[in-house]
Amino acid sequence: MASCRAWNLRVLVAVVCGLLTGIILGLGIWRIVIRIQRGKSTSSSSTPTEFCRNGGTWENGRCICTEEWKGLRCTIANFCENSTYMGFTFARIPVGRYGPSLQTCGKDTANAGNPMAVRLCSLSLYGEIELQNVTIGNCNENLETLEKQVKDVTAPLNNISSEVQILTSDANKLTAENITSATRVVGQIFNTSRNASPEAKKVAIVTVSQLLDASEDAFQRVAATANDDALTTLIEQMETYSLSLGNQSVVEPNIAIQSANFSSENAVGPSNVRFSVQKGASSSLVSSSTFIHTNVDGLNPDGQTELQVLLNMTKNYTKTCGFVVYQNDKLFQSKTFTAKSDFSQKIISSKTDENEQDQSATVDMVFSPKYNQKEFQLYSYACVYWNLSTKDWDTYGCQKDKGTDGFLRCRCNHTTNFAVLMTFKKDYQYPKSLDILSNVGCALSVTGLALTVIFQIVTRKVRKTSVTWVLVNLCISMLIFNLLFVFGIENSNKNLQTSNGDINNIDFDNNDIPRTDTINIPNPMCTAIAALLHYFLLVTFTWNALSAAQLYFLLIRTMKPLPQRFILFISLIGWGVPAIVVAITVGVIYSQNGKNPQWELDYRQEKICWLAIPEPNGVIKSPLLWSFIVPVTIILISNVFIFIIISVKVLWKNNQNLTSTKKVSSMKKIVSTLSVAVVFGITWILAYLMLVNDDSIRIVFSYIFCLFNTTQGLQIFILYTVRTKIFQSEASKVLMSLLSIGRRKSLPSVTRPKLRVKMYNFLRSLPTLHEHFRLLETSLSTEEITLSESDKAKESI
């Protein structure tokens, strides 16, 4: 009965330990995925996220609404509800946009899968939201066939313009081929020799606005594969068209065009013309956001100004000027400048009716930098124009002007398409230096590990039953990791962090075109430290696994010898496999992003010199997942499994020959269990408990994790060095000699022999007191393992 109870107890312990481990690891992995997905979506602003409603975001002191909402808190509807008209069903349509019908052309038509009709949601003269009539398309026409038709001078341009607008209404489906065909058709409509009607041109402007909603990748493929100048031709025609609107304007969500006409009998043109674009509640342009003022003294931007252009015309015979604003730079595909952020990059074009040879107008501009000021700092900017000859940005004739009002100022001596290419530096919140607990724990671990390595090597021949090789390698890898962690985990760029993104700190004499809109100061040393930390932590976990495997062979499979060349085999695994993992990880990342000067940040973080945290949509491709989390999780699961087997079959198995009291026996079992848990790295499971959302609970587990793992080296020193008889004996001798020297100087010669004898007898008793805590001593019963077999196996190491 006693044996049955003992067996049931062991089974219960094994089941409980296994379930707890599985639950902790499973919850930990689940929390990692959840926290990565939610990490980027959390607002860094101090303003409550619920202040901005209906998907609005708080940016730079105001709510930026989606197109479907407006108002201070994005609570005013700006859309037309779902509707059905003439047999066509339409979903919700934002004001100013055409909504595609849910009915699409059949599979057997040329326009298969595209909407059969579109419907405009607009504002009436009284400001009321209303739906316009349905425009039905031709399912037998597509962009390719329309491109062929428009070449015919007799082609009906009104119908073609309407068909192209319908075919481009769903921007998510537009491919590079669709964009190329559409721009060629629109180019023919704006061709002055074709004499298209004003209505056809206005519908073509809607098409251009819809094209600018297509993906950036599609436009990049257009620029890379196009055999003609479709995009460049369209840009030129937009400039020309801006001179033909009289004093009217055409405003669509992604493009606004406005003209100013000064022609009259014996009239003299104005000397200065100012064009302004005001900030809106959303990122779309609206008809009430553009203004033209003539005969002004200069620029006068205010808090609502997004950009402003001043034409200084020295010759007064200018009769017409025009302006074009692009909501983004997708038509301007640069080969030298790459935009990686999602900040809107507006392009402004100004043109006069003067001949190119007689161009005399100069341009002053101000741009309000639009970016997330909580996460980024404005690093620099360049005043540029679009060179139609090189099809790229150029700085000729443009320079930066210093201002004190928070705007970016530029001046150019010619008119064309202008932009400000801004570069940002991410405002990293570098963590504080390691706290006292981490420093003290790591210092104790480094000291304990160094003493353990020295002790294990010096006394190897005396200790015939010691597990030297695996323990020494584990201690060496852990020692190097702790040293790297203490002295190298902090990024030295932390000391270069500027206080703020003040525009006045920008170098106004440098107007060079940047290569990208986000920069990071490279730090190869931090990358090397991250790779070394990655390597030595993997080495530590690998030797944890090898320790588990070795103890399994020594304690469970006692009657079978260790495999041949076991030491060489585990050495190659312990030091070689992590090196292969790190080399492959760095090699793959460099091969994929080596041309990018900031490729390091695909491998490591900027805040600390450690592996990069993946983006929400890049978890599967993350180096942190495959080169660290997955292998460490596998090692921990296998180590816990072996730990349970050893605990049940060896450590907590009842020994019939045990003569000590139950209290001492339990203490010895607990210490033995802790000894095995430490070298197995079981305490690292606590890291998964740090992923809970509750801050107070997470702090508690963080301190527990820090306490157990920063002092892991100290634990090894106490359990595997201090508790040995050899160390206790040598320490007793050293202590006795030190005390005897001190007593010899302070006490009379008559009392020295008595005190020496008493101290000697006291120190002689220390090994006896600590003998109860020898590793695994009480667990090795005659039923499972004999000392002679274990000694022979251990001596082979």
Return all residues near 211 (Cβ < 8 A) that are at least 6 apart: 168, 171, 174, 179, 182, 183, 330
628: amino acid identity, one letter: F
What pLDDT digit, counting tens, does each position of 754-771 carry?
A: 544 554 454 444 443 343
Among the CATH numbers 1.20.1070.10, 3.90.1150.10, 3.30.300.30, 1.10.3720.10, which is that of 432-493+521-651+670-727? Answer: 1.20.1070.10
Calpha distance 709→707 (Å, rounded): 6
pLDDT at 564 over 90: no
Q: Which whole-number Å values give the CA distances from 503 to 375, 423, 509, 583, in the listed order?
A: 16, 12, 13, 42
Q: Residue 670 pLDDT > 60, yes or no?
A: yes
DSSP-derived secondary structure for 6-28:
HHHHHHHHHHHHHHHHHHHHHHH
Asked if the model's pLDDT at residue 681 lies above 60, the reply is: yes
The distance of Cα 17 from the centroid of its chain, to the nearest Å, equals: 36
pLDDT digits (tens, 9 = 90+) for 352-373: 877 665 566 789 999 887 777 7
Winning range, highest mean pLDDT, from 65-74, 701-710, 756-765: 65-74
pLDDT digits (tens, 9 = 90+) for 494-506: 766 554 556 667 8
Dihedral (CA of 613, 615, 616, 617) sign: negative
Q: What is the mean pLDDT of the chain?
A: 77
* pLDDT value at 33 more than 60: no
Q: What is the pLDDT of residues 287-343, one digit of tens each?
A: 888 889 888 888 888 888 889 999 887 666 677 889 999 988 899 999 888 887 767
Q: Quote the pLDDT of residue 275.
A: 93
Nearest to residue 219, comparing CAs of 185, 183, 251, 253? 183
Higher pLDDT, 712 or 545: 545
Q: Range(s) for CATH 2.60.220 in the chain?
A: 248-427
CA torsion 452→458→462→468, rounded to 10°? 50
Rounded to two decimals, what is the model's pTM?
A: 0.67
581 vs 762, more confident = 581
- Tell me if residue 683 falls in helix, strand or coil: helix
399 membership: H or E segment, kind and range: strand 398-401
Q: What are the residue ranges of CATH 1.20.1070.10 in the chain?
A: 432-493+521-651+670-727
Please list the residue range(s) of the chain that carry CATH number 4.10.1240.10.
71-134
**180-184: long-range contacts at Cβ-Cβ below 8 A with a sequence spacing of 24 or more?**
180/222, 180/226, 180/230, 181/143, 181/144, 181/146, 181/147, 182/143, 182/207, 182/211, 183/211, 183/222, 183/230, 183/231, 183/233, 183/234, 184/147, 184/150, 184/228, 184/230
CA–CA separation, 721 vs 434, rounded Å? 28
Fold (topology level) of 248-427? Chondroitinase Ac; Chain A, domain 3 (2.60.220)
At 777, is the pLDDT very low, low, confident or very high (cuts 50, 70, 90)?
very low
Q: Is the pLDDT of residue 729 over 50?
A: yes
Q: Is the pLDDT of residue 41 over 60?
A: no
What residues contact residue 298 under an 8 Å CB cut-off, 6+ apart? 272, 310, 364
State pLDDT tens for residues 99-108: 999 999 998 8
Residue with more model confidence, 630 or 354: 630
* H or E, element range at 5: helix 2-39
Q: Tell me which residue of 263, 250, 409, 274 sits closest to 350, measured CA to CA.
A: 274
Contacts of 142 (CB under 8 A, 6+ apart): 110, 111, 114, 167
Q: Looking at residue 531, what is its pLDDT?
A: 94
List the end-to-end C-alpha distance of the chain, in Å, as a whole number: 40
- Specify the pLDDT at position 692: 55
Whats the size of the chain, residue-wise? 797
Task: Supply the pLDDT for residue 137.
Answer: 92
- Residue 25 scores a pLDDT above 50: no
| Homologous superfamily in CATH for domain 71-134 | GPCR, family 2, extracellular hormone receptor domain (4.10.1240.10)
| Confidence category of residue 5, pLDDT binned at 50, 70, 90 | very low
